[in-house]
Amino acid sequence: MNEFELIESIAARLGARPGEVEVPLGDDCAVVRLGGIRWALASDMLVFGHHFKGWAAPEDVGYKAVAVNVSDVAAMGGVPRFILVSGGAPDSGVALGCMEGVLAACEKFGVYPLGGDTTASDALTVDVAVVGELPDPPVLRSGARPGDLLAVTGELGASAAGFLALEGGKRGPERLVRRHLRPEPRVEAGRLASRLGVHAMIDLSDGLASDVRHVCRRSGVGCRVELERLPVSGDVRELAESFGRDPEVLAATGGEDYELLIAAPERVLEELSSASEVPVSVVGEVVEEGVSFIRGGEAVEGLSGWDHFG
């Protein structure tokens, strides 16, 4: 059973949904309407040895745990407001370092920490639960329609390149390492996209090749992604090639970009692109069925993203 089957087996067993729950589990966040306002809730856990290794300082881990949750709220078109943070650490110095990173991220993203738990554990482990406010109806994974274009914010592969560098024992290039250790969730772009009425949105955590499949499955559609159109910067290409990796494949599968993948009509994407501070790049289109990745007119097979129990 993989992670997604696990989630579906849980979803299938849930009882009646309380009236406040507008979106149950299965999207970037659940959505609950409390007192006339919609709130987005999600949690994400980082574990030493699996999500990071000795190359990440406890401060980076704390920061990233908040950032990846903020990204889930961004993917619904929401504004992150509150977090709870539970941390397990081998000693109080590591715990405190991690909390420093959590507080730095709270300040950066305008999030207020409501508490949580600190405990001892052999492996540094941080779980953050986030509560975001949704000024507009949430943007779900399930709204993509044939004829929509697919676009991504920012750039792809930078985090994966930073990860390759860190795993290879390099501390540089600093920009790429930083993109891996301290991702920049796209809250502004997500808000804009939501206000402009995009059809579907997801944040890129598992990697484009995997996350675009989530959107297609939930929307009952297919897609055609052109690898040449992925926004891959020069330093990412260089670093990927220095490790013998195909830059576009890395960008499509590396994961942890924490960019937004958006499905919307061309006109909406043009408005978004013009209003957004981060670049918005069209990378493909939504079709009736079948997920394909194309380069030089040929299908590229076997691209897939991350599965935690795969």
How many angstroms separate the CA atoms of 252 and 211, rounded?
A: 10
User: Residue 28: which of 103, 116, 132, 117 has the closest Cα?
Assistant: 132
CA terminus-to-terminus distance, the chain: 8
Rule CB under 8 A: choose which of 61, 64, 109, 127 binds a second copy: 127
- Interacting span for a second copy (CB under 8 A) from 53-61, 123-131, 156-164, 244-252: 123-131
Farthest-apart Cα atoms in the chain, separation: 55
53 binds a second copy (CB under 8 A): no
Q: Which is nearer to a second copy, 36 or 244 (CB)?
A: 36
3-state secondary structure of 295: strand
19 binds a second copy (CB under 8 A): no
Number of residues that bind a second copy (CB under 8 A): 66
**Residues 39 and 32 sit within 8 Å (Cβ to Cβ):** yes
Lookup: tokens for 89 = 């650490």
Q: Which is nearer to a second copy, 110 or 172 (CB)?
A: 110
**Count, residues in the chain:** 310
Lookup: tokens for 94 = 């590591």
41 binds a second copy (CB under 8 A): yes
301: which residues sit within 8 A by CB, 6+ positions away?
none
Rule CB under 8 A: choose which of 123, 241, 242, 289 binds a second copy: 123
**Residues 261 and 268 sit within 8 Å (Cβ to Cβ):** no
Q: Which is nearer to a second copy, 41 or 192 (CB)?
A: 41
120 binds a second copy (CB under 8 A): yes
Lookup: tokens for 64 = 């990233």
Among residue numbers 64 through 83, which ones bind a second copy (CB under 8 A)? 81-82
Note the residues at the interface with a second copy (CB under 8 A): 1-3, 6-7, 9-10, 13-15, 17-18, 20-21, 24-26, 29-30, 32, 34-37, 39, 41-45, 47, 49-51, 81-82, 84-88, 91-92, 95-96, 99, 103, 107, 112-123, 125, 127, 129, 131, 308-309
